[in-house]
């Protein structure tokens, strides 16, 4: 019996073999089609219940199988899984199109939609109806048959291209190794980085040290390695992923994806892909996004230029560097930070043992939202590194299951993300609780040291956990409106707001103790962490803005005449460029967020959400960071509501007013605080 086709609650990882996936997908698609046929064959007058709700709960088996498979393809993949992904992605795209281009189904949805004002629906029902109608109209339901066929072909090709793009980036990352045998090349590196590199070399049966493009290996080298030549070598390798004119080259994929997205938008009656996407975002239009980005650029650029000059002067004084390059930035920033604040990541790391940080983030959630986390061993998992937890409320009732997967390995893509194995929803009187997962890539423990996090990694853990809370505390009726199913430029609010707690003395006192002595982190260190929070913030803001401008340049304009990915990129970066361009590198060819993930026309949302989170946290700061009344409002109006109403409506209910950009500019030190 195929375990994926049985009725399961927690994903039955240990019983699943790769050979189960494709048959399970095919059978689940067949079952879902029958459910859709049941809706269209119903001769009764279309109603909210027999059409909209029936459609909402159709295909749940397929959704569960998809969530298991695609999560594995990100966190525990192999060649066989990648091959299956290439085979099933076009089938799923075709299946999705079969639904959105089903005329009989759309006719019924349209009939209910046109009666909407007479139906006395709840706010959530109304939102679901509008969302269902738009998911059809925005995906070609009103097109002619010929144009529907064209749309299907575009979607099928896009599904394959996005997968291939991601596979190339992963293979490029895994392929590169910098093998060092001379101990002098390690000058400046902390012991933990050297030990991890020696361990990696040992597993490959070679002498010396191996450094890779995985973040836990790459970042410490760029920050601490004294050898400018080796930093350059590593930076150029990192920056040129997918840009070598070989089998793993992504340039043609970038151009093809951008062109297909543009073609698709035009087919649906939109000016560009960005116009199509932003219609369903808080920002609404490309003009508003550009206005927002330019306002931030205007405020951040003078600060960034001052900071760059300060960094240049410092590098020249210290090492006689005449012109700063990209591979110098992290190294001299770290040196300057140590000089200004006497704050060294390596001195902080002993206070951030991974297990303690996990315990700390759980305590923060307990204090704010009255939920408890208990590690359990009876939940099936896909890798031994994964930890599993039962989350309960003050009465002991189940809130969620939580999976945590924190270390890099060969079959796992880089970065950090939150995902779900099962959504929350209400059906037949039962509040079905979600299964949520956080995946990160933190330095693993070594024979002599436990896993110790940099402060940046601590904020990453809190960030992903914020997304996790959005999923765990969901309390809606419909799965497609639950948890993180919100407008894309609202989804980063719960994650980014959580990062703020990392800088607070009251929070750090909960978990930041030395892993050997048990000593609490010295409060002068806490003060320095807070002081250094705005260190080089102008430059950091410009970097984020450059990615957002690049995204909008690919998706907010007509790409049909673009021939060179590199030239296009250089042009997009003009207003935000701080360091000399390196002809060997190209950001776009490994910009997975927009060419593989869901951030196309949405990268600006990181800064957009920062405005929201700065404004939201200011509310906590005014009333106490563990104020349970404000936390209850945040849970009630933001975390639990998912996408049941427009984000600005929910935000204003929580905060009492719209967010102010000044909150972000003040926090970032880009403008002085009023008063």
User: For residues 154 and 189, is the Cβ–Cβ distance under 8 A?
Assistant: no
User: For residues 542 and 576, is the Cβ–Cβ distance under 8 A?
Assistant: yes
What 8-state DSSP symbol labels residue 427? E
Q: Give the Cβ contact number of residue 490 at 10 Å.
A: 23
User: For residues 465 and 502, is the Cβ–Cβ distance under 8 A?
Assistant: no
Residue 416, phi then psi, degrees to nearest 5? -145, 140
Measured over the CA atoms of residue 547, residue 553, residue 554 and residue 556, the dihedral's sign is positive
Residue 311: partners with Cβ closer than 8 Å, 6 or more residues away: 324, 329, 332, 333, 336, 536, 539
CA–CA distances in Å: residue 503 to residues 14, 53, 523, 527: 40, 44, 11, 9
Task: Write out the H or E segment, with its range, that includes residue 400.
Answer: strand 398-405
Residues 502, 511: Cα–Cα separation, whole Å? 10
User: For residues 74 and 141, is the Cβ–Cβ distance under 8 A?
Assistant: no
Q: Which of 56, 124, 334, 464 is catalytic?
A: 464
User: For residues 493 and 619, is the Cβ–Cβ distance under 8 A?
Assistant: no
DSSP letters of 187-198? TT--HHHHHHHH
**Tokens 């890798």 correspond to what residue?**
383
Burial tier of 33 (Cβ tally within 10 Å: 0-12, 13-18, 19+) = middle
State pLDDT tens for residues 118-168: 999 999 999 999 999 999 999 898 899 999 999 989 999 999 999 999 999
Q: Identify the pLDDT of residue 673.
A: 66
Residues 474, 434: Cα–Cα separation, whole Å? 8
User: For residues 148 and 99, is the Cβ–Cβ distance under 8 A?
Assistant: no
The alpha helices in 13-144, defined as continuous H runs, are 18-41, 54-56, 60-75, 79-100, 103-114, 123-137
Residues 69, 77: Cα–Cα separation, whole Å? 9
What 8-state DSSP symbol labels residue 452? B
Q: Identify the pLDDT of residue 290.
A: 97
Strand partners, 435: 401, 422
Strands (E), 155-217: 178-180, 209-211
Question: How many CA atoms, within 13 angstroms, populate the side-chain half-sphere of residue 506?
Answer: 12
Q: Identify the pLDDT of residue 674.
A: 55
Q: Give the Cβ contact number of residue 185 at 10 Å.
A: 18
DSSP letters of 530-552? HHHTTTTHHHHHHHHHHHHHHHH
Judge whether 464 counts as a catalytic residue: yes
Q: Identify the pLDDT of residue 345.
A: 81
Token pair in block for residue 367: 């204090």
Residues 489, 605: Cα–Cα separation, whole Å? 4
**pLDDT under 70 in the chain at which residues?**
673-675
Q: Identify the pLDDT of residue 143.
A: 92
Token pair in block for residue 26: 């095919």
Residues 472, 73: Cα–Cα separation, whole Å? 23
DSSP-based three-state secondary structure for 433: coil
Residues 66, 85: Cα–Cα separation, whole Å? 10
State pLDDT tens for residues 10-52: 999 999 999 999 999 999 999 999 999 999 999 999 999 999 9
Hey, what domains does the chain have and what are their CATH numbers? 3-142 (1.20.1050.40), 176-239 (no CATH), 248-319+534-675 (1.10.1370.10), 350-521 (1.10.1370.40)
How far is C-alpha 181 from the geometric centre of its chain's CA atoms? 37
pTM exceeds cut of 0.75: yes
Residues 258, 204: Cα–Cα separation, whole Å? 39
Residues 230, 227: Cα–Cα separation, whole Å? 5
């Amino acid at each position: 019996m195929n375990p994926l086709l049985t009725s399961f609650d927690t994903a039955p990882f240990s019983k699943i073999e790769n050979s189960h996936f494709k048959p399970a997908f095919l059978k689940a698609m067949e079952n879902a089609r029958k459910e859709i046929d049941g809706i269209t064959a119903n001769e009764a007058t279309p109603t909210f219940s027999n059409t909209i709700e029936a459609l909402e709960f159709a295909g749940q088996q397929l959704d569960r199988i998809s969530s298991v498979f695609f999560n594995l393809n990100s966190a525990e993949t192999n060649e066989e899984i990648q091959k299956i992904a290439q085979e099933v992605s076009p089938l799923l795209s075709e299946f999705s199109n079969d639904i959105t281009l089903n005329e009989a189904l759309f006719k019924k949805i349209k009939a209910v939609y046109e009666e909407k004002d007479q139906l006395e629906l709840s706010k959530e029902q109304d939102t679901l109806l509008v969302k269902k109608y738009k998911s059809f109209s925005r995906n070609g339901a009103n097109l002619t048959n010929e144009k529907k066929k064209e749309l299907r072909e575009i979607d099928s090709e896009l599904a394959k291209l996005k997968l291939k793009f991601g596979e190339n980036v992963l293979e490029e990352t895994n392929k590169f190794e910098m093998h060092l045998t001379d101990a002098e090349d390690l000058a400046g590196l902390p012991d933990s980085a050297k030990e991890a590199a020696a361990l990696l070399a040992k597993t490959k049966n070679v002498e010396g040290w191996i450094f890779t493009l995985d973040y836990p290996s790459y970042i410490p080298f760029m920050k601490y390695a004294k050898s400018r030549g080796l930093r350059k070598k590593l930076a150029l390798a990192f920056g040129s992923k997918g840009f070598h004119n070989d089998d793993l080259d992504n340039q043609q994929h970038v151009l093809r994806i951008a062109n297909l997205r543009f073609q698709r938008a035009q087919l649906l009656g939109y000016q560009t892909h960005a116009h199509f996407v932003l219609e369903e975002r808080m920002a609404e239009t490309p003009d508003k996004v550009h206005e927002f980005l330019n306002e931030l650029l205007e405020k951040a650029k003078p600060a960034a230029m001052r900071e760059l000059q300060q960094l240049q002067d410092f590098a020249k004084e210290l090492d006689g560097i005449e012109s700063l390059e990209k591979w110098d930035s992290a190294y001299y920033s770290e040196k300057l930070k140590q000089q200004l604040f006497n704050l060294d990541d390596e001195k902080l790391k002993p206070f951030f043992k991974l297990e303690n940080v996990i315990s700390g983030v759980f305590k923060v959630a307990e204090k704010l939202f009255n939920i408890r986390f208990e590690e359990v061993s009876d939940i099936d998992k896909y890798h031994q590194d994964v930890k599993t937890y039962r989350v309960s409320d003050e009465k002991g009732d189940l809130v969620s299951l939580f999976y945590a997967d924190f270390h890099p390995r060969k079959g796992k893509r880089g970065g950090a993300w939150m995902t779900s194995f099962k959504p929350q929803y209400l059906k037949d009187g039962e509040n079905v609780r979600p299964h949520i997962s956080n995946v990160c890539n933190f330095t693993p423990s070594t024979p002599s040291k436990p896993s110790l996090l940099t402060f940046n990694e601590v904020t990453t853990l809190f960030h992903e956990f914020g997304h996790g809370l959005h999923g765990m505390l969901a309390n809606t009726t419909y799965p497609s409106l639950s948890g993180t199913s919100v407008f894309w430029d609202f989804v980063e609010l719960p994650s980014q707001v959580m990062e703020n707690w990392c800088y607070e003395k009251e929070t750090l006192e909960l978990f930041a103790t030395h892993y050997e002595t048990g000593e609490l982190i010295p409060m002068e260190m806490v003060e320095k962490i807070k002081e250094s929070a705005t260190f080089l913030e102008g430059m950091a803001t410009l970097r984020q803005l450059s990615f957002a401008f690049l995204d909008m340049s690919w998706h907010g304009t007509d790409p049909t005449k673009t021939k060179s990915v590199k030239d296009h990129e250089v042009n997009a970066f003009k207003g935000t460029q701080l360091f000399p361009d390196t002809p060997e590198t190209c950001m776009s060819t490994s910009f997975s967020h927009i060419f593989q993930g869901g951030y196309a026309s949405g990268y600006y949302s990181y800064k957009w959400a920062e405005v929201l989170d700065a404004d939201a946290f200011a509310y906590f700061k005014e009333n106490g960071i563990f104020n349970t009344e404000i936390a209850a409002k945040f849970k009630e109006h933001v975390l639990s509501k998912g996408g049941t109403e427009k984000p600005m409506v929910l935000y204003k209910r929580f905060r009492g007013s719209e967010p102010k950009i000044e909150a972000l500019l003040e926090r970032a030190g880009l403008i002085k605080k009023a008063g």
